[in-house]
Amino acid sequence: MHSYLASPCEVELQELVHQIDIMVNRKQIEWERKMRALEAKMDIQDQELASARSKLDQKGQEVGLLQQELENLQKTKNEMAQSYEAQLQALKSQVRKIFLPGSIIIYVLSCQNLFGWILMWM
């Protein structure tokens, strides 16, 4: 058997390669750990984003319902105003028929033993 003696340069080079391998393996482990942490953080952010989108969709639906309710209330208000206006016009017409044009109607109001006069011109 022939025994090979390595030169000091070769021994030093082998030691250097071995140290580089150790450093590369450590960096790889560190980078993999950081990558897993970033992936976990991204998963959490994805879940938060999905939750925010869901809440936004829900709020959008609520806004739509409230807009519809507002439109219905405005329609009802307008219908009531038209009805009241029609009733007022009918009442004015009836009052005009009862009283002669140009006459004065005097009302006496009592409120806590006080009397006031209101004059209304027809």
DSSP class per residue in 25-74: HHHHHHHHHHHHHHHHHHHHHHHHHHHHHHHHHHHHHHHHHHHHHHHHHH
Query: What is the rounded distance in angstroms from the CA atom of residue 93 to the CA atom of residue 81?
Result: 18
Q: What is the pLDDT of residue 1?
A: 53
**Which amino acid is it at 74?**
Q
Q: What is the mean pLDDT of the chain?
A: 83
CA–CA separation, 115 and 110 (whole Å): 5
Give residue 22's pLDDT band: very low, low, confident or very high (50, 70, 90).
very high
Task: Report the pLDDT value the prediction gives residue 38, as an integer from 0 to 100.
Answer: 98
pLDDT at 94: 84
Tens of pLDDT, residue by residue over 66-105, are: 999 999 999 999 999 999 999 989 888 888 777 655 555 4
Q: What is the pTM of this model?
A: 0.50
